[in-house]
Amino acid sequence: MNNIWTLAEQHEGKLKGVSFELLHRGRLLADTLKSKLFSIVIGSGVDDSQLNELIERGADEVIVVKDPALKGFVCETYVKILERLVKEHKPHTILAAATTSGRTLMPYLAIKVNTGLTADCTDLDIEPGTGNLLQTRPAIGGNIIATIKTPDHRPNMATVRPKSMRPLEKDKSRKGTIVNLKLNPADIDGRVTITGYHVETEGFDHIEEADVVIAGGKGLKKGDNFSMLRELADKLDGSVGATRDAVDRGWISYSQQIGLSGKTISPKLYIGVGISGSVQHLAGIKTSETIVSINSDPNAQLHQLADFSIVGDLFEVVPVLTKRLKSMNTESK
């Protein structure tokens, strides 16, 4: 009854990175409850090396329902499988990523098993004494942080923001169990057929997956000045992001917003340009490997978090950085 479950995501037989991020969250909860951590894999073509990696990164047991009929994600079919597993094993908590798949599947599953769901969580903990899952998430457009619990129903269910926690390092000495279950034909929902996938690239800049993100804030003064950041990002093979303030002013699209009311990122390099560093924005970048802050205000909050701070006029600093990088690229050729 106290076991923690995380739902692994896969596409065309390859586990997504968020599957391992969730295990870190789940491991902390399972250790607090002194319970086991399960990873649930539904799909087709996931090989044993990937399943073993789930154990190496924190799972005690991996439950696998693998069949060619599950090659495409069909919410109704996945939920029928999960509903059977939940009713049989009665987990304490189920975690999924706040991705397109997770946000589609979890609400439907919550209705089927008669429990609550908290979406887009940024933090999770166990309430002492009750064992309730404390689910923290932004509310009212990110202006407040709410902690939610489900005291009267089980399992607890939550979706978690991708990139809000790094995966645990691989531990090849960890031992665990892989349980392969056969697909029950009755679980196939024949009303939906996957005919193919169309990948949209034009106009999309997936900052969640970028290794380098250059973000701009109110200090840029107007939307046209984001062209400076795009030029700098091009030299670093990076993506451009923004604060909520910049998005609200119409300088850049919401898809590039970073923070509690936007996206959580975890790049190798984050450069904040003209960003003071509100709590909401800092929460969206805190797992970045290296943080650089460029701001003329020496007391900017982002400077306090940054690994490297440049106190100076961004309109002077950014062009110099871009010019230096362009020169370096030319010399390397």
- 145-189 residue pLDDT tens: 889 999 999 999 999 988 888 899 999 999 999 999 999 999 998
Q: How far is CA 154 from CA 3, 122, 124, in A?
A: 11, 21, 16
pLDDT at 328: 81
Least confident residue range of 147-156, 186-195, 300-309: 186-195
Q: For residues 6 and 29, what is the distance between their CA atoms, to the nearest angstrom?
A: 11
For residues 308-324, give the mean pLDDT.
95
DSSP collapsed to 3 states, the chain: CCCEEEECCEECCEECCHHHHHHHHHHHHHHHHCCCEEEEEEECCCCHHHHHHHHHCCCCEEEEEECHHHCCCCHHHHHHHHHHHHHHHCCCEEEEECCHHHHHHHHHHHHHCCCCCEEEECEEEECCCCCCEEEEEEECCCCEEEEECCCCCCCEEEEECCCCCCCCCCCCCCCCEEEEECCCHHHCCCCCCCCCCCCCCCCCCCHHHCCEEEEECHHHCCHHHHHHHHHHHHHCCCEEEECHHHHHCCCCCHHHEECCCCECCCCCEEEEECCCCCHHHHHCCCCCCEEEEEECCCCCHHHHHCCEEEECCHHHHHHHHHHHHHHHHHHHC
Delineate the domains of the chain, giving CATH numbers in brackets: 4-187 (3.40.50.620), 207-332 (3.40.50.1220)
Instruction: Give 134's pLDDT tier (boundaries 50, 70, 90).
Output: very high
Task: Give yes or no for a contact between 286 and 165, defined as CB atoms under 8 angstroms apart.
Answer: no
Section 307-328 average pLDDT: 93
Model pLDDT, residue 201 = 44
Determine the pLDDT at residue 204: 47
Mean pLDDT for 229-240 is 93
**The pTM is what?**
0.74
Average pLDDT over residues 226-236: 94
Neighbours of 185 (CB within 10 A): 8
Token digits of residue 5: 């479950």
Asked whether the predicted pLDDT for residue 47 surpasses 60, the reply is: yes
Spatial separation of the C-alpha atoms in residues 3 and 35, rounded to whole Å: 5
Return the pLDDT at 333.
55
Structure confidence by residue, pLDDT tens digits, 247-270: 999 999 988 999 877 888 889 999
Instruction: Say if residue 311's pLDDT is above 80.
Output: yes
Q: pLDDT: is 215 or 328 the higher one?
A: 215
- Whole-number pLDDT of residue 198: 67
- With bands split at pLDDT 50, 70 and 90, how would you rate the model's confidence at 312? very high
Please tell me the distance from the alpha carbon of residue 190 to that of residue 278, in angstroms, as a whole number.
48
**CB-based contacts of 69-73 (< 8 A; 24+ apart in sequence):** 69/44, 69/183, 69/188, 70/42, 70/43, 70/44, 70/183, 71/12, 71/43, 71/44, 71/45, 71/194, 72/194, 73/101, 73/194
Model confidence at 117: pLDDT above 80: yes
Give CA–CA dist 225/231, Å, rounded. 10
Q: What is the mean pLDDT of residues 35-48?
A: 93
Least confident of 120-134, 236-250, 254-268: 254-268
Relative to beta strand 212-216, strand 61-66 is unpaired
The whole-chain average pLDDT of the chain stands at 91
pLDDT of residue 195: 80
